[in-house]
A and B are shown apart, each in its own frame.
Chain A
Amino acid sequence: MPNDMQTSGIADHRLSPPDYADNFSDLHAPLSDHEALVAADRCYFCHDAPCMDACPTTIDIPLFIRQISTGTADAAANTIFSQNILGGMCARVCPTETLCEEVCVRETAEGKPVLIGQLQRYATDGMMAKAHPFTRAADTGNKIAVVGAGPAGLACAHRLSMNGHAVTVFDARAKGGGLNEFGIAAYKSVGGFAQTEVEWLLSIGGIAVKYDSPLGNGLSIDNLKADYDAVFLGIGLGGVNALRAEGEDKDNVVDAVDFIEGLRQASDMGTVPVGRHVVVIGGGMTAVDAAVQSKLLGADEVTMVYRRGKERMSASEFEQELATSKGVRLIYNAAPMRVTGNGAAQAVEFAYTHDVNGKLENTGETFTIVADQVFKAIGQTLDGAPDGLALDGGKIKVNEVGQTSDPAIWAGGDCASGGDDLTVTAVAEGRDAAEAINNKLTAEG
């Protein structure tokens, strides 16, 4: 008898192929030409626009929307890409509801912002299907090493190449894109977009990529410093926080990031096994992505438990609503006490929490949720950073242009201090570090 949502334990093929296709299709379908014109028409072309300020990459949003409305979407794409070369992915994964669209004056006026993210996708998709809009400056003779082919590393490499420098990108994995490829929810980046974007970005030329090249394994920071004029680190957060709850080591208690990575790399969602009863512990985007996708894979019951209140959750209101709309149950103010089960997880015991003078304490009341699969999503940590670099709050300490305590090394993205751990922030930091490196090397002659 084939599996279904009620099949006990962890199982694959809980749904039919059409269900998988439907569940993992685009979260927001691309705007048609007509929809784009209607959406663009709502933009007021604000002066010193709040949306632009709210964008970590400071894209000139009113300008690109006006360019769309006058039938020049490629010019709009240029406006976007000149600030954010990963504007295509950001259009898909940015939490616009807490960035540009949150401060849109039409959100203020009517509670309905201009669809900035979807318009950005409209412009960037059109351009990416045609060509790469930038060319390289004359070769400077400088060589720069970029470690990590995620959003920060790619943005840095691209801007360096535009400025005429020769870039070599090293990445630990067999593919580029970083979390764009291995993280984020599948329904936000359908059709292999992450790889398409990497190829398109690299088509500017001047960037060599060495995959399967992690730091440490024959690749040392000292060697890079000796062989290159500058080094940029965009290595992300390789470690995962522990639950610090009893029974954490039982079978089927896994890191959400590993589950998502496996799912993102699966060519057939039906082959991805998922529990009948899934519990996700955490309150961020990774937790939501794991919970929602468990449900989309056919889990019967998915519960996401966060130890603090709704207002403290780092996943946005939109993400929380997305989770509940897909059937995920959200429980706030509860912390895991122990995972029970004979060898493999069978249930998780939680204690309700409350805030006592700013400190989180258990109320003493407990409850138990049946779970044959438990995902830990309580944050990632820096792992494998080169020795000798100063840290700040567990991340590589950088100044406002991304320079580390070693003046020959820059860093950006999730591994670096400052900024939110967002794709768009990583792009901004990679781009700005590239400009700083360029300025330094140009000044040195």
Chain B
Amino acid sequence: MADLTSNFIGIKSPNPFWLASAPPTDKEYNVRRAFEAGWGGVVWKTLGEEGPPIVNVNGPRYGGIYGGDRRLIGLNNLELITDRPLQQNLQEIKAVKRDYPDRAMIVSLMVPCEEDAWKTILPVVEETGADGIELNFGCPHGMAERGMGAAVGQVPEYIEMVTRWCKQYTRMPVIVKLTPNITDIRKPAEAAHRGGADAVSLINTINSITSVNLDTFAPEPTIDGWGAHGGYCGPAVKPIALNMVAEIARSAETANLPISGIGGVSNWRDAAEFMALGAGNVQVCTAAMTYGFKVVQEMISGLSQYMDERGITSTSEIVGRAVPNAKDWQDLNLNYIAKAKIDQDLCIACGRCFAACEDTSHQAITMSDDRVFEVQNDECVACNLCALVCPVENCISMEAQAAGTVDERTGKVIPEEYANWTTHPNNPTGAMCNVMPEDG
């Protein structure tokens, strides 16, 4: 079994799977169960400043989106930060860390944007023996309305300022958790970097309304007839999170800034994908909330098998390996030609590929009277929709066409050379002197 030991900004854990700061990490009881199940670390649910505890709604706090077979693929949460007394949380954090010294214990924090508030809370957290802190600049509801959470995360100057305070007043590593509710994720990441952050973690949840009750005409989750936007997470947000992680990882300004990847990580494969795009480790929440803490065991065995099969001996070998391949659209090779291919032995003749192509795409699949579906290479642009709607795995694939052969759709020979939009003749701003993809 592969060695999954993780060292993220100097914080060691037996595996790279941490539980994100969220309802599952709000109490000693839950966190002990998580560690018993095998989680490598936890980010304790966000602590606020000393004082009257936070108040939560007691109607539904979550809303959900289902995929097939009533699988929860998206979760909306409008719970706030911990609603338990600060001292109680601190005592529990200390007790758990004492009993599980090999696990990562990160404490998420959110106090007002005032230097004193941060200066006050940091020493008491440090006293627990925690391995690091995560600054919650991401919560999109409730706390944001009070000038915290996403309200900070949306203003790079505030991020930089608070990060700097934290680096000044604690020796603990500082992770800045970013909100995705912005237009360019690189800006807040750069601000954290400037402020001296040891790492960023992302994404926090996305502003969302999961559904509307069509009897009461109230957004859901509905509290006494009204709804408010909450934070969206779960498998549905993974593509958004992957892109944001990649944006930071491949940006020159933040290329060396460690990233803790968050957003819909549900299994070992998701975790490995985040790591390949630059995340040093991952944080998980919805998968645990959906299936319980035991899911980490599949993540551990799966990542281990993957690494063994490829002779990878350390998780750090995975980190960032896909980053050089993450490009802008304009970099993509326009001379690359693929065609859909249907494996007739696997085909169950449902005809979904035909409907998708005929109705909404390129009329590149024909259907015979006896329900044989065939790709017409002279129409196929390899858009991949047929493969995506096919219910049988690997039945439809996109086959690269060899350079030097003729693309039946254009009638032109496929060039060997790489050529992208920047050099394309149709590009009004492009250089006109290079190889023209359409001209062979």
Contact = CB atoms under 8 A, between A and B. Distances in A.
A265 B70 CA distance: 44
A50 B352 contact: no
A46 B354 CA distance: 10
B352 A45 contact: yes
B309 interface: no
Interface stretch (B41-49, B227-235, B320-328, B343-351): B343-351
Interface string B214-237: 000000000000000000000000
A50 B68 contact: no
A48 B349 contact: no
Interface residues of B, number: 14
B354 A47 contact: yes
Contacts of A108: 348-349
Interface of A: 37-38, 41, 44-50, 105-106, 108-109
B349 A105 contact: yes
B358 to A, nearest CB: 8
Nearest to B349: A105
Contact of B68 (A41, A105, A106): A41
The interface centre, meaning the residue of A41, A45, A47 with most chain B CB atoms within 10 A of its CB, is: A47
A47 B352 contact: yes
A47 B355 contact: yes
A44 B350 contact: yes
Contacts of A48: 351, 367, 371
Contacts of B124: none
A44 B69 contact: no
Contacts, number: 35
A256 to B, nearest CB: 39
B344 to A, nearest CB: 13
Interface string B355-395: 10000000000010001000000000000000000011000
B392 A109 contact: yes
Contacts of B371: 48, 50
A29 to B, nearest CB: 21
A81 to B, nearest CB: 25
Contacts of B350: 44, 46-47, 105
Interface of B: 68-70, 348-352, 354-355, 367, 371, 391-392
Nearest to B66: A41
A276 B413 CA distance: 82
Contact of B348 (A37, A41, A47, A105): A105
A49 B355 CA distance: 11
A71 to B, nearest CB: 10
Given A44-B391, A50-B371, A109-B392, A37 B70 contact: yes
Given A38-B69, A41-B69, A46 B351 contact: yes
A44 B392 CA distance: 11
Contacts of A41: 68-70
The interface centre, meaning the residue of A37, A46, A106 with most chain B CB atoms within 10 A of its CB, is: A46
21 contacts: A37-B70, A38-B70, A41-B68, A46-B349, A46-B350, A47-B350, A47-B351, A47-B352, A48-B367, A48-B371, A49-B351, A50-B349, A50-B371, A105-B348, A105-B349, A106-B348, A108-B348, A108-B349, A109-B348, A109-B391, A109-B392
Given A46-B352, A47-B352, 16 more contacts: A38-B70, A44-B391, A46-B349, A46-B350, A46-B351, A47-B350, A47-B354, A47-B355, A48-B351, A50-B349, A106-B348, A108-B348, A108-B349, A109-B348, A109-B391, A109-B392
A105 B392 CA distance: 11
Nearest to A34: B70
A2 to B, nearest CB: 51
A261 B202 CA distance: 72
Nearest to B395: A109
Contacts of B352: 44-47
Nearest to B351: A47
Nearest to B353: A47
Contacts of B367: 47-48
Contacts of A46: 349-352
A355 to B, nearest CB: 30
Contacts of A44: 350, 352, 391
10 nearest A-B residue pairs (beta carbon): A47-B351, A47-B355, A46-B350, A105-B348, A109-B348, A105-B350, A108-B348, A44-B350, A46-B351, A47-B354
B246 to A, nearest CB: 33
Nearest to B392: A109
Nearest to A49: B351
Contacts of B349: 46, 50, 105, 108
A42 to B, nearest CB: 8
Contacts of B68: 41
Contacts of B348: 105-106, 108-109
B395 to A, nearest CB: 10
Contacts of A45: 352
Contacts of A37: 70
Contacts of B392: 109
A49 B354 CA distance: 12
A53 to B, nearest CB: 10
Contacts of A106: 348
Nearest to A69: B68
A125 B354 CA distance: 34
The interface centre, meaning the residue of B351, B354, B355 with most chain A CB atoms within 10 A of its CB, is: B351
A38 B371 CA distance: 27
Nearest to A37: B70
